[in-house]
């Protein structure tokens, strides 16, 4: 049994795990222990509130709807008349009600009001018969009393949201419907958490930035761009610190700057075996950092801990550090599976498990028991409604093309071994509607 080099220097409840074969679920749990939500909040106009995280519950200041109103175009009447009617019902039209223009007169027994969707229900009326069920002759309408039930086609005051009730809970990541809902309450701004600041950089002497000439033995730095894009999707404040050469002094300087300016620091490259010694020395000088070998593919090496801007543990500002592997797909998988839940928690968001969809594999899949694999897959629903999935090709941790081609991860559970065609797997779809 190995004791983890925990970020506080203490052994946590996770000390039963071997840090060189840490299950994904254990790594996720450890990381979440360190992902304390930011305290700072601010008020932002509704138009700028999309994807921001609510800092407190929103209490509805009004009833929504604010008054009983028609849900359809038709005729409003007292539904008590339905009980007495056997078969047909005839009513005299005594007035009109439009959205924004109420009918304020009385509605006598045997009378009704022509009403449009959204118009306030006249006093004494609780039911709307839709206009398509009605035959009109002059000012009298007739309809089959069985065509409508008492109370139908009317929306009740407060039925959507009651005044004083929680309209949206703290930790909500605001979606389009939430922005509309806040507007429907008459609110002009939202009280949200401040955006998390995430600094990121790439490491490696071989890296050139797009736009630069590519000398022999060099590659373009794709991780910084993919990381920037993934962070943009999370709506955090992303701080691009560029490419850092494989030089201890440059690495230390950039890490200190990152800890000074950000809540979280993401690096890519330099954590795999062979490179780790050099990075390890730097990270362990600046802070408490553990080097893990995750039981995950792609994305085995990962450094996790805290670094301090003052150059040693406890000096200056602390930031959480994730040292991600350099291979581009490993970087992305590590980000989605390990970093993203932590960033969401630090941003103050309520935990939202990513849905897994059951599917059948179109092909046999090679899988080693004892690690979780996230293969790139292309999923579709067949004519019978069953999800089916096939890997997109090369599962090399460097092959971004098969990641781009994919529309899901095929999640192969820790304990699973080789799969046959037709076997059940779980998939994690990349895109949803909202």
- Give the footprint of Mg ion on this chain (CB under 5 A): 204, 269-270
Count CB atoms within 10 A of the CB of residue 380.
13
120 binds, among ligand AMP, Mg ion, none (CB under 5 to 8 A by kind): none
- Would you say 271 and 321 are in contact if contact means Cβ atoms under 8 Å apart? no
Please, which residue, 126 or 206, has the CB nearer to ligand AMP? 206
Please, which residue, 192 or 264, has the CB nearer to ligand AMP? 264
Please, which residue, 270 or 328, has the CB nearer to Mg ion? 270
The contacts of residue 1 (CB under 8 Å, 6+ apart) are 15, 16, 18
11 binds, among Mg ion, ligand AMP, none (CB under 5 to 8 A by kind): none
- Rounded Cα distance between 242 and 117, Å, is 57
Q: Which residue is nearest to ligand AMP (CB)?
A: 326
- Nearest approach in angstroms of CB 7 to ligand AMP is 22
Using alpha carbons, list the distances in angstroms from residue 148 to 198, 242, 274, 425.
Answer: 58, 67, 76, 48
Please, which residue, 247 or 415, has the CB nearer to Mg ion? 247
287 binds, among ligand AMP, Mg ion, none (CB under 5 to 8 A by kind): none
Please, which residue, 207 or 252, has the CB nearer to ligand AMP? 207
Please, which residue, 323 or 391, has the CB nearer to ligand AMP? 323
Count CB atoms within 10 A of the CB of residue 176.
10
- Nearest approach in angstroms of CB 400 to ligand AMP is 9
- Nearest approach in angstroms of CB 398 to Mg ion is 12
57 binds, among ligand AMP, Mg ion, none (CB under 5 to 8 A by kind): none
The contacts of residue 229 (CB under 8 Å, 6+ apart) are none
219 binds, among ligand AMP, Mg ion, none (CB under 5 to 8 A by kind): ligand AMP
Q: Which residue carries 């050139």 as its tokens?
A: 208
- Continuous segment of H or E residues that includes residue 176: helix 176-184
Using alpha carbons, list the distances in angstroms from residue 233 to 39, 236, 255.
Answer: 22, 8, 24
154 binds, among Mg ion, ligand AMP, none (CB under 5 to 8 A by kind): none
- Nearest approach in angstroms of CB 321 to Mg ion is 17
Please, which residue, 268 or 361, has the CB nearer to ligand AMP? 268
305 binds, among ligand AMP, Mg ion, none (CB under 5 to 8 A by kind): none
- Would you say 263 and 346 are in contact if contact means Cβ atoms under 8 Å apart? yes
- Nearest approach in angstroms of CB 267 to ligand AMP is 9
- Nearest approach in angstroms of CB 306 to Mg ion is 22
282 binds, among Mg ion, ligand AMP, none (CB under 5 to 8 A by kind): none
Please, which residue, 245 or 368, has the CB nearer to ligand AMP? 245
328 binds, among Mg ion, ligand AMP, none (CB under 5 to 8 A by kind): ligand AMP
- Nearest approach in angstroms of CB 248 to ligand AMP is 15
- Rounded Cα distance between 434 and 326, Å, is 31
Count CB atoms within 10 A of the CB of residue 354.
13
The two three-digit tokens of residue 18, written as one number: 């071997």
- Rounded Cα distance between 200 and 343, Å, is 13
Please, which residue, 309 or 331, has the CB nearer to Mg ion? 331
CA proximity to 331, closest of 214, 431, 222, 194? 222
- Rounded Cα distance between 31 and 86, Å, is 68
Please, which residue, 122 or 270, has the CB nearer to ligand AMP? 270
- Rounded Cα distance between 58 and 188, Å, is 12
- Nearest approach in angstroms of CB 255 to Mg ion is 15
- Nearest approach in angstroms of CB 270 to Mg ion is 5
The two three-digit tokens of residue 129, written as one number: 């018969």
State the DSSP string of 185-233.
TT--EEEEEPPPEEEEEEE-TTEE-TTS---TT-EE--HHHHHHHHHHH
Question: To 5 degrees, how large is the angle CA 158–CA 163–CA 165?
Answer: 105
- Nearest approach in angstroms of CB 169 to Mg ion is 43
Binding residues for ligand AMP (CB under 6 A): 202, 204, 206-207, 219, 221-224, 268-272, 275, 325-328
Helices (H), 235-379: 248-261, 276-286, 328-334, 340-346
325 binds, among ligand AMP, Mg ion, none (CB under 5 to 8 A by kind): ligand AMP
């Amino acid at each position: 049994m190995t004791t983890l080099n925990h970020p506080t220097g203490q052994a946590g409840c996770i000390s039963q795990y071997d840090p060189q074969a840490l299950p994904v679920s254990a790594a996720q749990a450890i990381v979440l222990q360190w992902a304390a939500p930011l305290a700072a909040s601010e008020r932002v106009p509704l138009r700028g509130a999309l994807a921001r995280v609510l800092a407190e519950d929103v209490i509805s200041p009004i009833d929504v709807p604010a008054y009983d109103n028609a849900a359809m175009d038709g005729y409003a009447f007292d539904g008590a008349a339905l009980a007495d009617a056997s078969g047909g019902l005839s009513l005299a039209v005594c007035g009109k009600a439009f959205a924004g223009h109420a009918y304020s007169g009385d509605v006598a027994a045997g009378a009704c009001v022509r009403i449009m969707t959204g118009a306030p229900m006249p006093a004494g009326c609780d039911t709307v018969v839709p206009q398509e069920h009605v035959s009109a002759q002059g000012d009298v309408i007739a309809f089959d009393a069985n065509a409508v039930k008492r109370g139908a086609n009317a929306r009740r005051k407060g039925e959507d949201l009651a005044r004083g009730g929680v309209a949206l809970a703290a930790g909500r990541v605001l979606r389009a419907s939430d922005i509309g809902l806040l507007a429907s309450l008459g609110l002009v701004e939202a009280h949200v958490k401040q955006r998390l600041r995430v600094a990121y950089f790439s490491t490696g002497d071989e890296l050139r930035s797009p736009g630069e000439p590519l000398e022999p033995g060099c590659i373009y730095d794709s991780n910084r761009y993919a990381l920037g894009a993934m962070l943009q999707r999370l709506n955090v404040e992303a701080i691009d610190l560029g490419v850092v050469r494989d030089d201890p002094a440059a690495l230390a300087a950039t890490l200190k700057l990152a800890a000074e300016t950000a809540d979280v620091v993401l690096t890519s490259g330099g954590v795999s075996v062979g490179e780790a010694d050099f990075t390890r020395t730097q990270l362990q000088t600046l802070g408490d950092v553990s080097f893990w070998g995750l039981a995950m593919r792609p994305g085995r090496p990962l450094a996790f801990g805290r670094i301090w801007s003052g150059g040693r543990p406890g000096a200056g500002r602390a930031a959480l550090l994730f040292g991600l592997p350099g291979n581009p797909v490993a970087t992305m998988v590590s980000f989605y599976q390990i970093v993203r839940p932590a960033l969401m928690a630090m941003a103050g968001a309520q935990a939202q498990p990513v849905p897994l969809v059951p599917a059948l594999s179109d092909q046999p899949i090679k899988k080693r028991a004892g690690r979780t694999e996230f293969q790139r897959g292309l999923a579709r629903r067949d004519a019978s409604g069953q999800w089916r999935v096939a890997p997109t090709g090369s599962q090399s941790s460097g092959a971004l093309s098969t990641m781009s081609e994919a529309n899901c991860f095929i999640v192969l559970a820790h304990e699973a071994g080789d799969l046959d065609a037709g076997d059940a797997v779980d998939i994690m779809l990349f895109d949803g509607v909202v």
